[in-house]
Amino acid sequence: EVQLVESGGDLVQPGGSLRLSCAASGLMFSGYDMNWVRQAPGKGLEWVSFISSSGYTIYYANSVKGRFTISRDNAKNTLFLQMNSLTADDTALYYCASDRSVSGSRTYGYWGQGTLVTVSS
Amino acid sequence: DIQLTQSPSFLSASVGDRVTITCRASQGISSYLAWYQQKPGKAPKLLIYAASTLQSGVPSRFSGSGAGTEFTLTISSLQPEDFATYYCQQLEAFGPGTKVDIK
């Protein structure tokens, strides 16, 4: 069974930083592209960042570009999101989501349960 | 960037009803569209990819169609467990969602 388990969410002040992690099991992690997708309270889904299976290709949403950094450790089956200069607009439940396929379909086949980031003073 | 719109944004239906949700893209995207179901407090679940291919394990009452700029998700006979919010997606874009509620 595939499991993606996010951690690291917390209450942080505006301007602060957080590092989210997503531990994967039950899939060949190194073969899958990975993503972070967020959902603000009561709102829809917003894609945040993409990293290819090798880690060489990375994309960011304009809303987080220059502030967030995605990375992965394929030896430890773990995905990361370093979040800096946080604002209230970053308050959301952050999901990690794997591609549906090792061939890279840019669809999200597996999801974690999410980790909550709250930015507030 | 591609924008996705969905209609309706909300619909009220009864068990057994046939339900259709539409997703429109701001430019042609061939068949590169997926549909997700999200229930309250849960992560989204992939239902359909490549516009019409059913993800493994998804009931056959769900179907997808379309290409280019207009796509539909159809539930042939709505079941109690289908009351949820549905999102379309293409690359980094998600539609705003359609909430299906009980009439």
Give the CA distances from residue A54 to residues A29, A104, B41, B96, in Å, rounded to whole numbers and listed in that order: 10, 12, 32, 31
| Low pLDDT (below 70) residues in chain A | none
Nearest-CA distance from B88 to chain A in Å?
10
- In chain B, the largest separation of any two C-alpha atoms, in whole Å, equals 38
Question: For B68-96, what is the mean pLDDT?
Answer: 97
> In this complex, do B94 and A46 lie within 8 Å of one another by their Cβ atoms?
yes
HSE of A81, CA atoms in CB hemisphere, 13 A:
33
Q: What percent of chain B is predicted at pLDDT more than 90?
A: 97
Question: For B28-33, what is the mean pLDDT?
Answer: 93
Nearest-CA distance from B16 to chain A in Å?
27
In this prediction, residue B48 carries a pLDDT of 98
In this prediction, residue A102 carries a pLDDT of 85
